[in-house]
Amino acid sequence: NSFNKAIIYEDSFVLLKPPELNFFNWFLIPHNGHLMAISKFLSYVLTNLNLYPTSYFISFGILIIFLASFFLWKLVNFVSQNNNNKINIFLICSYFWISPWHWENLIWEFQFPWFLVASLVIISTFILIKNNSKDFKFIEKLFFVISPLIAITSTGVGICYLNCLILNYFIRKREKSFPLIGIILSYSLFIFVRLTAESNSILNFNLLTNLKYISVMLATIFKAPISANNSSSFIHWIIPIFSSLLIQLFLVVNINWKIFFKNTSLIKKFALLNPIIFSLQFAIITSLSRSDYGIHQGAVSRYLICLVLLPIGLIIIFYYTNNIHEKILIDKKFTFKNR
């Protein structure tokens, strides 16, 4: 037991193949709308090696987190050549990404796909920001073909990642058509799963309830998991709500939006917005499917895996726009001196 919960619990049985089913039938059966194929495959291999899947999924989750941290550093490093704040910005983003508020999710192998998809968002953001038509490596092209399939066969959250890619695809030149292969295959698989899977889920289209639910999700991003034991008590949320809102409002107010809209190309705009669009999509989709369970459910810690990319995205844009602004001021100063 850990964090007041058993390590193997709730839906974990889905990752163990029943003897009466053959591999392919079991492999392609979705659970609560999630295909879970990647996790099932890993679990199947580990089980046949007489290893305990849960213990190894913790290791896989940690590995994925640090892999994404490497690309987070490359992302911060690429956004600006100014070394003054690079390390500080990276450490702040890493603290949110390797967040103590969602460490408890590492013990549940069902959450491994969410870490995986969120990591794909960070990696794709770096590639989308840095790439240009003249120098786009084969491995990066391959990533955009394969990563949508990895995302959609991992969890339903993968659809948020697919939508981010398709949005970026539509604003890019036609020679970037290779990501369309992975996107089309992934959407086709997603539609096939939805059409063939039995689903008892009812979507809640009550606008006010959805807004309340989304507000709770976004306002408790820095909610410590220990307060999940008091999830119905709004008193325990006062400090998390204050800290979450304070940081995000500070970033929104202090981002140089004039620079962002006037001095940033359309392609780079959407690349920079990639983590934010992903998080907001996730909040909306989750509110439609889960808000019937109560507003307090919006504060559960497992959502932070995807939602934490919102403040990280805001920090990247804040850093980027203020560095551009600083560069413009320096250029003006040099021009003035020359004159």
* 3-25 residue pLDDT tens: 455 545 567 788 888 888 888 88
pLDDT of 251 strictly over 90: yes
CA distance 79 to 231: 38
Of 282 and 3, the structure prediction assigns the larger pLDDT to 282
Q: Across 22-31, 32-41, 67-76, 322-331, which has the greatest mean pLDDT?
A: 67-76
List 2's β-bridge partners, or say none: 5
CA distance 30 to 193: 7
Q: Are 284 and 307 in contact (CB under 8 A)?
A: no
Mean pLDDT of 193-217: 82
Query: Band of the pLDDT at 56, cuts 50, 70, 90?
Result: confident
| pLDDT value at residue 155 | 92
CA distance 277 to 269: 11
| pLDDT value at residue 230 | 52
What is the tens place of the pLDDT at every residue in 82-107? 677 888 999 999 999 987 777 778 87
Return left, alpha or beta for 10; rule: phi > 0 is left, psi -120 to 50 is alpha, else beta.
Answer: left
pLDDT of 2 strictly over 80: no
**How much is the mean pLDDT over the chain?**
84
Question: Which runs of E-coded beta strand occur in 104-252?
Answer: none
Which residues touch 241 (CB under 8 Å, ≥6 apart)? 219, 220
pTM equals 0.89
Q: Across 109-118, 136-145, 294-303, which has the greatest mean pLDDT?
A: 109-118
| pLDDT value at residue 214 | 92
Nearest residue to 131 (alpha-carbon basis) of 268, 269, 319: 268
Nearest residue to 69 (alpha-carbon basis) of 126, 24, 109, 129: 126
| pLDDT value at residue 68 | 96
| pLDDT value at residue 224 | 63
Concatenate the DSSP letters of all residues of 288-299 into one string: HHHGGG-GGGGG
What is the tens place of the pLDDT at every residue in 229-240? 455 555 666 666
